[in-house]
Amino acid sequence: MRAIICRAWGAPDQLSLEEFEPPQPSANQVLIKVTASCVNYADTIMIQGHYQTRPDFPFAPGLEAAGEVIQCGSAVSRFKPGDRVMALLGFGGFAEQAIANETDCFHVPAEMDDETAAAFLIGYISSHVAIRWQAKLEAGETMLVLGASGGVGLTAVEIGKALGASVIAGASSAEKLEIARQRGADQLIDYKRNSLKKSVAELTNGEGADVCYDPVGGDLFDEALSSLAWGGRILVIGFVGGIPKIPANRLLVKHRSAMGSSLRYFRERRPDQLRASVEELIAWWQDGKLKPLVSQRFTLEQVPAAMMELLERRAVGRIVITVN
C-alpha cells in the first residue's frame, strides 16, 4: 500500500510517500480501506516528536480516517467487511489502509459522504466533550470562541448554538469572522484590531463570558481569562499561539476555572461519554445543525503541503486528504 511515512522527527518536508507493508488487525481491531482522512494540528506536532504519544519509526501519521472495513479481528462484533466507518486512530491515517480499535470506530450515516466523515470526528468530538462534559455549558449562557474560523473553532461555534448558548466568535480578520457568522455566531470580535477584554465586556453588558473555548493560547489566553464572568470556565484546547502561564490568583478572585480537555482521556477513561457525544453530534448533523466546512482538499502525496497550511495558520475549516 502507499503511505506517507515519517522516519525521523522533523518538519513536514521530511515526510515521504512510500510503498509500505499493510498493517494487520489484532483481535479487537478492524482494517480499513481509507477513502479520506483529515489533517489536524496534532499531526504536525506528532511528526516533530512533541505530541503526547511518540510512535516507533517508521510510521504513517494521521489521527483520523474514513473508509470501508475490509477485515475484522476475531473479537470484533459491531462491524463487518463492507461497513462504512469513520475512526479515531493513534496514527496511520495518511495511508491507503489503516487499523483502528473497534471502540474507536463509528458507523457512517448513509447520507454522509466520505469527505464529511473524514472531517467529522476529531474536530467535533474534541469540542463536544470539552463543552458538554467539561465546561458543562448551559442554554442561555454566553460562550466566547477564539480561533473561531479554524478547524475546531467552527465546531465549537456550532455546538454552542446547538446547546442553546449565545456565542461570541473571535478571530484575526473580518473574512474569518464572516465564516463564523455563517455558522451561527451571534457576536463577532476581530482581536487583531480590538481589545478582546473590552469587546467582551461591551457585548455582555459588563458581565463577561461564562465559558471561553481557547484553541489558540499565547497572549490571547490572558485577555480571555480576564473576559470571564464570575464563575466562568476557560477551556484549554490548544497552543498554536504559544503555551500560556495561568495566574492562580486570578482564578480565585472571581471563582473562575481553567480546564484542560483531552480527547485521549475520554477515549481511554470515559468511553460511554465519548459514544454519547458521537451519537448527539450525528443527530445534530442529521438535523442540519452541524455543517462541516471542508475548505481544502489534497492528495496523499500532498500531505506535507497540507500540514504547512495549518502550521502557517492559513487554514479555514478542515483540510481533507483524498486517498482512494
- Low-confidence residues of the chain, pLDDT below 70? none
Q: Of 38, 34, 30, 94, which Cα lies nearest the Cα of 61?
A: 94
The residue with cell 458543562 is 136
- CA 71 to chain CA mean position, Å: 27
pLDDT at 240: 82
User: What are the distances in angstroms from CA 145 to CA 31, 49, 151, 250?
Assistant: 37, 28, 12, 20
Third-level CATH fold of 123-264: Rossmann fold (3.40.50)
pLDDT at 156: 98
Q: Of 156, 212, 214, 206, which Cα lies nearest the Cα of 185?
A: 156
Which residue ranges make up each domain of the chain? 2-120+292-322, 123-264
pLDDT tens sequence across 50-99: 998 999 999 999 999 999 999 999 999 999 999 999 999 999 999 999 99
In degrees, rounded to 5, the angle at the alpha carbon of residue 288 between the alpha carbons of residues 287 and 293 is: 145
Q: 199: which strand partners? A: none
Which amino acid type is present at position 236? Answer: V
Query: Three-state SS for 42?
Result: helix
Taken in order 124, 116, 7, 311, is the CA torsion positive or negative?
A: negative
Instruction: Record the pTM.
Output: 0.94
pLDDT at 69: 98
Q: Are 214 and 237 in contact (CB under 8 A)?
A: yes
Q: Are 71 and 81 in contact (CB under 8 A)?
A: yes
Is the backbone of residue 99 left (phi > 0), alpha (psi -120 to 50) or beta? beta
Q: Are strands 29-39 and 64-72 parallel, antiparallel or unpaired?
A: antiparallel
Cis amide prior to 58 (ω within 30 degrees): yes
The residue with cell 477551556 is 235
pLDDT at 316: 85
Query: How many CB atoms are closer than 10 A to CB 179?
Result: 22
The residue with cell 476529531 is 122
pLDDT at 298: 98
Please state, in angstroms and rounded to a whole number, the distance separating the CA atoms of residues 317 and 67.
21
Please state, in angstroms and rounded to a whole number, the distance separating the CA atoms of residues 67 and 98.
9
Q: 88: which strand partners? A: 64
Is the backbone of residue 202 left (phi > 0), alpha (psi -120 to 50) or beta? alpha
pLDDT at 231: 97
Specify the DSSP element, H or E, that contains 103.
none
Sheet containing 257-260: which strands, arranged edge to edge? 187-190, 166-171, 142-145, 209-214, 228-236, 257-260
Pick the CATH number of 2-120+292-322 from 3.90.180.10, 3.10.310.70, 3.20.190.10, 1.10.40.30: 3.90.180.10
Which amino acid type is present at position 189? Answer: I
pLDDT at 247: 87
Query: Three-state SS for 38?
Result: strand
